[in-house]
Amino acid sequence: MAKPKFKELRRCYGFDEVAIMPGDITVNPDQTDIELTIGNLKFDVPIVAAAMDAVTDVNTAIQLSKMGILAVLHGEGVQTKYDNPQEILDEIVHAPQAEMASILQKIYSAPIKEDLLAKRIEAIKKAGAICAVSVTPANTKRLVPVITAAKADMLVVQSTVTTARHVSKSYKGLVLSELCQSIPIPVIVGNCVSYSACLEIMREGVAGVLIGIGPGAACTSRQVLGVGVPQVTATLDCAMARDTYFKESGRYVPIITDGGMINGGDMCKAFASGADAVMLGSIFAQAKEAPGKGYHWGMSTPSPVLPRGTRIRVGTTANLQQILFGPTSVTDGTQNLVGALRTAMGFCGASTIKEFHNAEVVVAPSITTEGKAWQRGMTCSS
Amino acid sequence: MAKPKFKELRRCYGFDEVAIMPGDITVNPDQTDIELTIGNLKFDVPIVAAAMDAVTDVNTAIQLSKMGILAVLHGEGVQTKYDNPQEILDEIVHAPQAEMASILQKIYSAPIKEDLLAKRIEAIKKAGAICAVSVTPANTKRLVPVITAAKADMLVVQSTVTTARHVSKSYKGLVLSELCQSIPIPVIVGNCVSYSACLEIMREGVAGVLIGIGPGAACTSRQVLGVGVPQVTATLDCAMARDTYFKESGRYVPIITDGGMINGGDMCKAFASGADAVMLGSIFAQAKEAPGKGYHWGMSTPSPVLPRGTRIRVGTTANLQQILFGPTSVTDGTQNLVGALRTAMGFCGASTIKEFHNAEVVVAPSITTEGKAWQRGMTCSS
Amino acid sequence: MAKPKFKELRRCYGFDEVAIMPGDITVNPDQTDIELTIGNLKFDVPIVAAAMDAVTDVNTAIQLSKMGILAVLHGEGVQTKYDNPQEILDEIVHAPQAEMASILQKIYSAPIKEDLLAKRIEAIKKAGAICAVSVTPANTKRLVPVITAAKADMLVVQSTVTTARHVSKSYKGLVLSELCQSIPIPVIVGNCVSYSACLEIMREGVAGVLIGIGPGAACTSRQVLGVGVPQVTATLDCAMARDTYFKESGRYVPIITDGGMINGGDMCKAFASGADAVMLGSIFAQAKEAPGKGYHWGMSTPSPVLPRGTRIRVGTTANLQQILFGPTSVTDGTQNLVGALRTAMGFCGASTIKEFHNAEVVVAPSITTEGKAWQRGMTCSS
Amino acid sequence: MAKPKFKELRRCYGFDEVAIMPGDITVNPDQTDIELTIGNLKFDVPIVAAAMDAVTDVNTAIQLSKMGILAVLHGEGVQTKYDNPQEILDEIVHAPQAEMASILQKIYSAPIKEDLLAKRIEAIKKAGAICAVSVTPANTKRLVPVITAAKADMLVVQSTVTTARHVSKSYKGLVLSELCQSIPIPVIVGNCVSYSACLEIMREGVAGVLIGIGPGAACTSRQVLGVGVPQVTATLDCAMARDTYFKESGRYVPIITDGGMINGGDMCKAFASGADAVMLGSIFAQAKEAPGKGYHWGMSTPSPVLPRGTRIRVGTTANLQQILFGPTSVTDGTQNLVGALRTAMGFCGASTIKEFHNAEVVVAPSITTEGKAWQRGMTCSS
């Protein structure tokens, strides 16, 4: 029997599998420009703190803003569901691991209080900081008036998978184009991973797109649903969508790679793959100022019927200043992220993030045999 | 010396190595249709309980049928070889691991009692449930009259590798086309893994085909015989055979991916690769109602001379209802399988299983370094 | 700067990375023919016992010959260097692991005694068994007269890498064609791994070629020298050389895949890749009759200056009869090798080893995460 | 929506992933010629000791030179920063691991003393040995007069990434072509990894190029910056640059693969990939004579703000003579490197290093499942 033409599967890549090739020119790190622009807002550093309760609260949002960093407050988390979020955070931190998933389900099943949402936004604004808030598509219409009334600077509409076209019988789907036109602040939407989904979202008029679904195999979404695309490929593809959209519209919409980065090396790879910014969770959860107090939990809003994340101990290692700008004595890439970004850009001869997008990313798998790892590469010169 | 054209080996993929890419449209999970049709029978849920003694007995067959699920009774196992199967199951469960293989060999070397086979079928039918029974090709002719007389609803002819053409000098080979024409109930045949073998089996007139030989490297068939094809590739190829056969005959024969799925993610990947249904063993063996009482054993009928499976402790985690429909607090993908399937379909914009077959499956290897796994993907949004 | 066309490296495959795809026809195992012919000699079973001191001595050579198996006596090992080899074997078995390499160096630095070589051969022949003896190229000229005078049935000329053309200033190179013409018994030569080297050796008139250099990454040759080719690719390429040579000469020279097979699955993959026979070491070293008494050591003759193998504990698991023909209760593929070969051939519809060469070998990597392995593939049907 | 042409990533290879295919001719090891020429200097052995404080001091530089080996003194390390380097080395060796990175930062932040630099060079020269000294680009102009005045034989300008074109506002970039013309000794420059960067450096008139940036995944550069290219690909590409440059200029500039080699097998793979020499660190750090006394530390000059290396325990295993020339009883490839190189060359029929460049390097991944490793490849013949 003649063989048919079998289906070919596309190979996708994650951070662990790639490396950045240095350039033919090098630039001194102090000559690199890493500014980020989203809509009408400018940030000194293209790193965004995730809309997760272990990472962003009123306090860290204010501190990070002062450092030139965008932090997104979780609009449907403990900050907006509980008058005293500290009490709830303590409960999460001290709960036994075995009961974690059900405790998170219970805690996050509480209703969002609109007055608390307004109160949190106002507290951040009052400190002179930039305030961004995240909501899920299903709650967007209801919460947008509160958010704009409280004078937030940016809206983030985020769910595991968000597309420009959603079919639902239980509620009238959110029309992104209407949303973007109807409110005066930039709207970031996510998450998506494919060229076509990203392009469609950009055409709705959004100010930025979050990239990343089930990044890395440990993401529970992969185990529970089988859905997900490794971050390097997702970023490469969506960067291509951004460039296509820029050609057709003249508007440059930044993409923000969200999730799966555990050190500066991963972060640099995201930029070299085409990211305009990165959204970090677990790295910020390690900060002394982090509300998670050394813990982190996966899903921003655990599902009551199909949970896909649990609590993780990440430890408390340094303050936000050190994590972002150093100096540091750790060699694992979790501190001085800005120094790492500028150094990597310099090695690639990139003066700007956009030039860094031209760096070549190559497939270079990690060594799997742990025992040999220590010896490999020991002679990197200074 | 000139180099010849060296043989190229085809790359095949297993569940661990792939992921499903979300779609450009999303659909609410409650709007998905997952019905399964095999011959004249319809099932609410496209999941089949394996013909293994740790999974299916009269009791679970009845309960699963009420939940809209097809369960296949092992026609040549403890249920049809022993008057009191409970006693034998207890012996398996309590035997020391070191003697396991030889105890299984001894237990399964007992003869099939035709009256017991009839009795088990009648018990299932009496409860108003749908009854399917599996037999091996060598025993099919002898047992079919008993099975049809007892009014079973479906016959499953299953061995490690079943083809439309078998050469034997010890017994006249089973002619599948004659079998399918001679009995009034649908016949499912398996297992096979290749396009051509699957197509040939469909042309015999079968009502469904089981896909999967030595799925995954831990399958003893791989160690003992070297034979086997990873399930994603096997499913993709046999789905292509189904589509070819549909074009040539106008008859749609469902394929059932059998084996190697350890969580909802794997199950969803099987559907996205082209499966119309999945047959699960170890996941059901974890049910409180399972006859295996927290254990599972590999081969349905251990070979007396070349055993390729042993007893495994899978634990008892939840009841059948929770495993299939939730709600759940576990995050490892072993519970609420139907919820997972509907959610994954929704992420891919698929309203039906056939639409889900159009989802893109990409190569996205798991992270091998366990130590890093916890950190990866921590920021999946809700 | 324009990029040049970079060098592409060829991907090679080992046993762990491949699997055999079953066929469209199946054959009953009892209808398979597995006879092996080397020169004028015929063997019931295409398995060869390695020329290693832990595997083959006079006793096992006789026993295996009676079972239809070729065993090769190590012509430059303890059997021909020591009057009382048992004493030396005991010393190896009981030596502390830390001193192993230097003890092996010392033991194997003793001179070969020609009278002992003759005596061992005569003992095997006297028992009515077939006798094959291995020597290294450097000693071939000196030892051949002894070997032929003692009426050995086969000569094996073996070193890590043997080619038809060797350049040396310390001794006049062995000319294989002269050797083959000058002695009345079949000459097997090895080891080699490439199409061209194998073809050149066949053109010298040899009766068989051993395939395998540094098979598998644990082979010390890989660590010490970086040299080696995984066995599936080596076997595929050398099978192609055999077929080329058969077309040009009309003479069919069997290739014997030597090394790297740890279970029946690996052995079956070697045959499906094109091997006419396999040479096994560690599997036979596990036999109750093995001279190694549960130990095995890597190199047949440890180098005094650059050792590349040490002693390994393999354990004693069963007698030779069970290892080869079963029955067995172990499920790891180390026993009933002949049953495994016939079963795998049957699954592929192969009645002969030559038909088995047509089976498709596919790339199907093992699962690396041990923890998940037990669950995968648990539902293989009988 | 039509899919765009997605970006393809180039696959790069490290030592663990490849093996050398033996040749069709073999040559006796004693007939191989391994001489290395750099500028006007000749060395018996193409192995270079790294410019790292745990490896090279005045004493080992002298001893290695007598063995025909080039050793590079770290011009900006403890030898030139401290009057009594032994005291400092002891401090590093005895410091607690947890404080290691900050202790290294502190120690290496001391200023370079030009008189000490001169003194070390003179001590080496006085013993009749060849003296090479390394400096970083930023300090080159200042230190070159000292180095040439002290009559060093060779200058090594080395940093993590060095290119022919560096953009800086803090200091006027080093112009390599001016440097090479202005001093009377050969200049080696590094490190680089790409064809184009290597070719540009060669065109500046250098006498040799160091190849290797972040070799292997354990290199902290990969974790901290994401930058690096596996060594086999880097060596293959830069060897192509060398050949291109030779064609355009008639001048043969040797490339020296630096880092990531942990045994003789890795070293041989570097040569087969195109290296003219290899620079080793951790293997020499294991020598009884090594200043590191069983320890090694990654970066030659730890960064005060972004450290990328720490102290490692490598152990003390043998003296320099044994590591280089044997004899040895270890089988892990860390001793008798010269014997290993000659043997591997012999297996590939290469009489010279340039002929060894023609050996075929194939992709042959290591086995990841440690547990199976011992068994694989046990039957390599002598």
What does the pLDDT look like over C175-193, one tens digit per residue? 999 999 999 999 999 999 9
Average pLDDT over all residues of chain C: 91
DSSP C118-129: HHHHHHHHHTT-
Q: Are A257 and A270 in contact (CB under 8 A)?
A: yes
Is B369 a residue whose pLDDT tops 60? no
Task: Pull the structure tokens for residue C18.
Answer: 């491949």
Element (H, E) at C25: strand C25-27
- What token pair was written down for C146? 């002894």
Quick one: tokens of B14?
Answer: 């297993």
How close C358 gets to chain A, by Cα (Å)? 14
| Per-residue model confidence (pLDDT) at position B96 | 92
* A375: nearest CB among D11, D229, D262: D262
Chain A: residue whose CA lies nearest to D2: A196
Residue recorded with tokens 């002695």: C183
- CA nearest neighbour of D266 among A376, C339, A92, C176: A376
Instruction: Note whether C221 contacts D377, CB cutoff 8 Å.
Output: yes
**What average pLDDT does this structure show over B343-359?**
97
CB of C187 closer than 8 Å to CB of C207? yes
Answer yes or no: are the C-beta atoms of B175 and B163 closer than 8 Å.
no
Nearest chain B Cα distance for residue A79, angstroms = 16
Helices (H), chain B: 58-66, 78-81, 85-94, 100-108, 114-126, 137-149, 176-182, 195-203, 220-225, 231-249, 264-272, 282-285, 320-325, 337-347, 353-356, 370-373
Q: Find the closest chain C residue to D370 by CA distance.
A: C218
Chains contacting B (3 or more CB pairs within 8 Å): A, C, D
In degrees and rounded to multiples of 5, residue B254 shows phi and psi of -65, 145
Neighbours of chain C (3+ CB pairs under 8 A): A, B, D
Q: Which of A211-225, B49-63, B368-382, D28-42 has the lowest mean pLDDT?
A: B368-382
**E strand or H helix that includes residue C165:** strand C165-167
Number of Cβ pairs < 8 A linking chain A and chain B:
269
B140 contacts in chain C (CB < 8 Å): none
- D212/A24 Cβ within 8 A: no
The C-alpha atoms of residue B282 and residue B294 are separated, in whole angstroms, by: 10
- Which of A47-51, A126-130, B273-277, C98-102 comes out lowest in average pLDDT? C98-102
Would you call D125 exposed, middle or buried from its count of C-beta atoms within 10 A (0-12, 13-18, 19+)? middle
Distance in angstroms (rounded) separating the CA atoms of residues D271 and D261:
11
Residue B181: count other Cβ atoms within 10 Å of its Cβ.
Answer: 11
* CB nearest to B216's CB, from C15, C30, C377: C377
Q: Is the peptide bond before A230 cis (omega within 30 degrees of 0)?
A: no
- Burial class for B148, CB neighbours closer than 10 Å (0-12, 13-18, 19+): middle
C-alpha closest to that of B200 among C347, C343, C25: C25
Nearest by CB to residue B215, choosing from C330, C332, C377, is C377
**D21-55 core/surface letters (b: 16 or more CB in 10 A; e: else):** bbbbbbbbbeebebebebbebebebbbbbbbbbbb
**Percentage with pLDDT > 70 across chain A:** 93
- D318-327 pLDDT tens trace: 999 999 999 9
For residue C369, what is the nearest residue in chain A, using CA coordinates? A368
Domains and CATH numbers, chain B: 15-365 (3.20.20.70)
> Residues D209-224: what's their mean pLDDT?
76
Residues 6+ apart with CB under 8 A from D75: D51, D112, D117, D133, D134, D135, D139, D143, D147
Cα separation, C302 vs C202, in Å, equals: 28
Whether D90 shows a pLDDT value over 90: the answer reads: yes
**pLDDT range class, residue C174, cuts 50, 70, 90:** confident
Q: Is the CB of B168 less than 8 angstroms away from the CB of C348?
A: no
Q: Which residues of A touch C24 (CB under 8 A)?
A: 1
pLDDT attached to residue A300: 67
* Average pLDDT score, chain A: 91
Query: Residue C216 and residue D381: Cβ atoms within 8 Å?
Result: no
CA-based nearest residue in chain B for residue D23: B1
For residue A185, count other CB atoms closer than 10 A to its CB.
20
Q: What are the tens digits of pLDDT across the range D270-292? A: 999 999 999 999 999 999 999 99
The answer to whether the Cβ–Cβ distance between D367 and C217 falls below 8 Å is: yes
Q: What are the C-alpha distances in Å from D156 to residues A372, B358, C361, C364, D238?
A: 29, 58, 51, 47, 18
Interface size, chain B vs chain D, as Cβ–Cβ contacts under 8 Å: 3
With CB atoms and an 8 Å threshold, state whether B226 touches C268. yes
Question: Is the confidence at residue B320, as pLDDT, over 70?
Answer: yes
Indicate the pLDDT class of residue A370, thresholds 50, 70 and 90: very low
Nearest CA in chain C to A217: C369
- One-character DSSP codes across A130-167: --EEEE-HHHHHHHHHHHHHTT-SEEEEE-SS--SEEE
Name every chain A residue with its beta carbon within 8 A of the beta carbon of D234: none
Which pLDDT value is given to residue D375? 41
**Distance between CA atoms of B3 and A116, rounded to whole angstroms?**
74
> Inter-chain contact C298–D380, Cβ cutoff 8 Å?
yes
pLDDT at A171 (0 to 100): 65
Q: What is the mean pLDDT of residues D360-379?
A: 57
* Closest approach of B31 to chain A, Cα-based (Å): 7
- D167/A27 CB distance under 8 A: yes
ipTM summary value:
0.93
pLDDT band at C377 (very low <50, low <70, confident <90, very high): very low
Using a CB–CB cut-off of 8 Å, the residues of D that contact B are: 1, 24, 368
- In this model, does residue C372 exceed pLDDT 60? no
Alpha helices in chain C (DSSP H): 58-66, 78-81, 85-94, 100-108, 114-126, 137-149, 176-182, 195-203, 220-225, 231-249, 264-272, 282-285, 320-325, 337-347, 353-356, 370-373
The packing angle between helices D137-149 and D114-126, to 10°, is 50
Which residues in chain B are contacts of D368 at CB distance < 8 A? 368
Asked if residue D91 lies in contact with residue D107, where contact means CB atoms within 8 angstroms, the answer is: yes
Nearest to A167 among B25, B331, B379 (CB): B25
Question: From D217, which residue of chain B is nearest by alpha-carbon distance?
Answer: B369
Predicted local confidence at residue B378, as pLDDT: 41
Interface contact A197-B378, CB threshold 8 A: no
Give me the pLDDT at residue D365, please.
Answer: 81
From chain A, the residues in CB contact with C368 under 8 A are 368
Asked if D363 and D18 count as a contact pair (C-beta separation under 8 A), the reply is yes
Alpha carbons A100 and A313: distance in angstroms, whole number: 12
Provide residues of C within 8 Å CB-CB of chain A.
1, 24, 368
**Mean predicted lDDT score pLDDT of chain D:** 91
Q: Do B161 and C369 touch (CB under 8 A)?
A: no
Q: Identify residues of B whose CB sits under 8 angstroms from chain D CBs.
A: 1, 24, 368
What is the mean pLDDT of the segment spanning B68-83? 97
**Residue C321 contacts residue C67 (beta carbons within 8 Å):** yes
At how many degrees (to 10) do helices C264-272 and C337-347 cross? 50
One-letter identity of residue B108? Y
Residues of D in Cβ contact (< 8 Å) with C259: 377-381
| Cis peptide leading into residue D191 (ω within 30°) | yes
CA distance A340 to B291: 57
Locate the chain D residue with the closest alpha carbon to B368.
D368
CB atoms within 10 A of CB A1: 11
Mutate to test the interface with C, among D27, D267, D376 (most CBs of C within 10 A): D376
Q: What interhelical angle do C85-94 and C100-108 show, nearest 10? A: 160
Query: D touches which chains (3+ CB pairs under 8 A)?
Result: A, B, C
User: Rounded CA gap, A343 and A359, in Å?
Assistant: 13
With contacts defined as CB-CB under 8 Å, which chain A residues touch B245?
A: none
Any idea which residue has 């307004």 for tokens?
A118
C327: nearest CA in chain B?
B305
Which of A251, A216, A254, A218 has the alpha carbon at shortest distance from A233? A216
Lowest mean pLDDT segment, chosen from C19-23, C273-277, C366-370: C366-370
Above 50 in pLDDT, residue C166?
yes
Among candidates B1, B24, B368 on the partner chain, residue whose Cβ is nearest the Cβ of D368: B368
Q: C with D: how many residue pairs have Cβ under 8 Å apart? A: 272
User: CA C155, CA C148: separation in Å to the nearest integer?
Assistant: 9
Q: Which residue of chain B is at minimal alpha-carbon distance from D24?
A: B1
pLDDT at A377: 38
Shortest distance, CA B39 to any CA of chain A (angstroms): 27
DSSP label of D229: B
Record: contact C167-D27, CB cut-off 8 A: yes
CB contact under 8 A, A160 and B381: yes
pLDDT digits (tens, 9 = 90+) for D238-269: 999 999 999 999 999 999 999 999 999 999 99
Average pLDDT over residues C264-274: 97
Residue A65 has pLDDT above 90, yes or no: yes
Q: Which residues of D touch C105 (CB under 8 A)?
A: 329
Question: How would residue C371 be classed by pLDDT, with cut points 50, 70 and 90?
Answer: very low
The answer to whether A292 touches A93, Cβ cutoff 8 Å, is yes
Confidence of residue A371 (pLDDT cuts 50, 70, 90): very low
Instruction: Name the pLDDT band for C310 (thresholds 50, 70, 90).
Output: confident
